[in-house]
Structure 1
């Protein structure tokens, strides 16, 4: 399944990603310390694990319902058979080489036949068989090169109990068919739930190319997308410091790092104005504000009484943060005044997703578990009023939960919605009178994530339970083409 999608701005990614350096001894020890309990420990603490898992209850409706397979026993049987075959093969090979009499050979070279001594060269440059080595290297670099006009998309994916980040390339092409492929991927240790791209220069320079990942674990990992085959995140925010096994029938003792979340991280939002700032929402009911450059938590807010599913910074006023919760509320707060109770917007069901309108600084949308979308104007939040804040409109958009929404960055009032009912819809929200202008079943299964790109505004990336990234060219829809033409004409007339 694909749980989350993030676009990388064009021209940001390195043309040829660097190769990862092998971890140091200290890093290996750190990995082992932070690793999962051994199988024997898990067996001893089965009951404790079960109780802990029940506490980590996170929107399980989003997981695939595939039947479980006992991979462990199957792999063990295969390993035993391979071991037997390998032992036999090695025995035969050693007998054939007659290693007991190896020292009796004059120079060892006779093992391979006479006349091969002339094939030794003082350096690789003198070897004629390696004369095209540089050409091969350049061809390999060209194959892995990311061009400035290529679009880069990062998918947080889980398949067969393996979680990873897939870095997709969408080549700039005038062809009707889109050329897409996975450039490289990054194995991550936990089931991913959300992502946020950020360019804070964590390794020096002016900007970087990083992806923050929230997962079923309490830690937030930040990975460098410009490194291939990386095994360690660049930064880890929070997480488990120590895990001790308990006696049979008792829970494990878990010690968390300072200011860490204590449950799954469900929502992330990077602040484009204050580029070192990242907001996170968790199943532990809290919202945290992190400084990713120092790896520290600057603020923890506990205003919600249930899991926090989504967080969103206001692009016009970057100190203003929205947080949406399973407690059926959206809270607006100025993080400069954390002691202020903020403004609460009540909604009809559990919050799935939040988005600010990029063309109206006072408006935001919230999508819900019951398939509806609600629009609010924050100017309706009157400090002196105790009455409930009324929405601009409420739209029954889908038959099941609306997991993801995305505003088109170019055409005002154009919204995409993705749902567990396996459909993706495009909406015209003009004049607060929403109308559906296109519907598609992208064959992605239950849809968990939809996302427009600033660089490719008419391409909608779609991810769902089937685990295959889908792309919808929305200009292929007559209604969208007509709406864009109207927008273009209006823009041209204003510019005259």
Structure 2
């Protein structure tokens, strides 16, 4: 890292490389923060978390008890030991509280004045953050397992919500009209919401090689319920997880299964499973609830990097805070845990320059001049 900083100061290397290296180091050193607590409000399991993308300061949680809580993640006390306080909650005594389990909460991507929630009570609610009153309530005939607002849409304000057996939905962060959905029938479909004729494509785990698939498995993404979807931040790939204990990475443009092998990814959830992908690292990492732990994989090679242990019961959801490379996880044990990068080891005062790691300059930034240019 010191070599990268020296090269950056000398103008010999790309500043983005230094940022990626430090973000990657921080993710690889994630550990349970024993000095930071998140105030315990929920009386039953936590199903969903979301951190607003504007400041990365405020976090929403939704629980099996129907309760929604908003937390302030900033350390206002400036003390080493502190608790992330709940600013407010939509508790059981609130007149508009969800009657049953809250499955998804999400901030409006461009303004913390609005957030949304959906529940097993067959409703999706649009909340005014300032008044803590619903600005609108949508009623459905079936259970709402998941919903999502596009993070990039500028020409529409559509909220994708699906009923009954569609367990996961996610808008593309690259194309504002493209939506991915995962279902209990093992299928993952990509939709262009401007088209009424049907979906763009149905992802096939066998990439069209039907000779290797039984007729039942043809055109399915998983041999089980698909209950988790997550796009990479550039929108070029889609990561899916199913109850067949498999996770698959897809090229979102071609619909091709990239065949990355993550091994067995234990998934016994009967409803939506919220997992997360890092941002700005090299390589990128996936944080996946795995029983009472969180498995950390490299997205493009499938390597299991580590298992984060701290919860006492099944982990249902996790959310990544890209500003400081922090991870927050919610579990059936009613706790929200904060995972932060381990502090960097201080450099000894008597360290010599020769003992520092040698940095090799990116060839694109090397001086192309040579004394041979003046010869002959």
Q: Fold-level match, TM-score > 0.5?
A: yes
Equivalent runs, 1:173-192 vs 2, <5 Å? 178-183=28-33, 184-186=36-38, 187-189=40-42, 190-192=44-46
How far the C-alpha of 1:405 sits from its partner, in A, is 0.9
Q: For 1:289, which of 100, 105, 126 is the aligned residue?
A: 126
Q: Is the 8 A contact 2:108 2:115 kept in 1?
A: yes
So what's the TM-score if we normalise by structure 1? 0.47
Unaligned runs of 5+ in 2: 1-17, 76-80, 204-219, 304-363, 365-376
Aligned to 2:50: 196
* Cα root mean square deviation, aligned: 3.1
Higher relative contact order (CA 8 A, sep 6+): 2
Q: For 1:400, which of 202, 209, 224 is the aligned residue?
A: 224
Q: For 2:72, which of 212, 224, 229 is the aligned residue?
A: 224
Q: Is the 8 A contact 2:63 2:101 kept in 1?
A: yes
* Pairs aligned (count): 257
Distance 1:208 1:370 in 2: 36
Distance 2:237 2:224 in 1: 21
Aligned to 2:368: none
Q: Is the 8 A contact 1:218 1:261 kept in 2?
A: yes
Distance 1:397 1:305 in 2: 27
Aligned to 1:267: 104
Q: Is the 8 A contact 2:127 2:135 kept in 1?
A: yes
Alignment deviations for residues 249-268 of structure 1 (CA, whole Å, 9 cap, x no partner) = xxxxxxxx222221111112
Distance 1:275 1:220 in 2: 15
Aligned to 1:311: 147
Go from structure 1 to structure 2 and tell me whether the alpha carbon gap of 1:461 and 1:185 turns closer, same or farther (over 3 Å shift).
farther
How far the C-alpha of 1:437 sits from its partner, in A, is 2.9
How far the C-alpha of 1:231 sits from its partner, in A, is 7.9
Alignment deviations for residues 383-426 of structure 1 (CA, whole Å, 9 cap, x no partner) = xxxxxx4111122111111111111113x431111122222111
Equivalent runs, 1:56-455 vs 2, <5 Å? 172=23, 178-183=28-33, 184-186=36-38, 187-189=40-42, 190-198=44-52, 207=55, 209-227=57-75, 230=83, 233-237=86-90, 239-241=91-93, 257-302=94-139, 304-314=140-150, 315-317=152-154, 319-326=157-164, 350-381=165-196, 389-395=197-203, 396-410=220-234, 412-431=235-254, 433-441=255-263, 444-446=266-268, 448-455=273-280
Distance 2:265 2:192 in 1: 35
SS at the partner of 1:289? strand
Q: Is the 8 A contact 1:171 1:178 kept in 2?
A: no
Of structures 1 and 2, the larger Rg is shown by: 1
SS at the partner of 2:194? helix
Go from structure 1 to structure 2 and tell me whether the alpha carbon gap of 1:174 and 1:292 turns closer, same or farther (over 3 Å shift).
closer
Alignment deviations for residues 229-280 of structure 1 (CA, whole Å, 9 cap, x no partner) = 538521213x322xxxxxxxxxxxxxxx222221111112211213211111
Q: Is the 8 A contact 1:368 1:403 kept in 2?
A: yes
How far the C-alpha of 1:173 sits from its partner, in A, is 5.3
Alignment deviations for residues 144-163 of structure 1 (CA, whole Å, 9 cap, x no partner) = xxxxx999xxxxxxxxxxxx
Distance 1:468 1:171 in 2: 25
